Amino acid sequence: MTKKKKIDESTDEQKLEKDEDQLKTDVSLDDSEEMKSDEKENKKYEQILAQSQEYFEGWQRERADFQNYKKRIERDQISLKSFITAEIIKKYLVIIDDLELALKNRPSSTDCLGWVDGIGLIYQKLISILEGEGVELIPVEGEFDPNIHEAISQIEHPEIESGKIVEVMRQGYKISERVIRPALVIIAR
Q: Is 159:120 a contact under the CB 8 Å cutoff?
A: no
Predicted confidence (pLDDT) at residue 117 exceeds the cutoff of 80: yes
pLDDT confidence bin for 11, thresholds 50/70/90 = low
Residue 29 is predicted with a pLDDT of 55
Integer-rounded Cα radius of gyration of the chain: 47
Domains annotated for the chain, with CATH where assigned, are 135-189 (2.30.22.10)
Report yes or no: 186 and 154 within 8 Å, Cβ to Cβ: yes
Q: Is 170 left (phi over 0), alpha (psi -120 to 50) or beta?
A: beta
The confidence score (pLDDT) of residue 59 equals: 95
2 pLDDT above the threshold of 80: no
Chain segment 35-90, per-residue pLDDT in tens: 788 888 899 999 999 999 999 999 999 999 999 999 999 999 998 988 898 999 99
What is the pLDDT, as a whole number, of residue 127? 93
CA distance to 1, 64, 126, 187, per residue, from 146 (Å): 133, 42, 27, 11
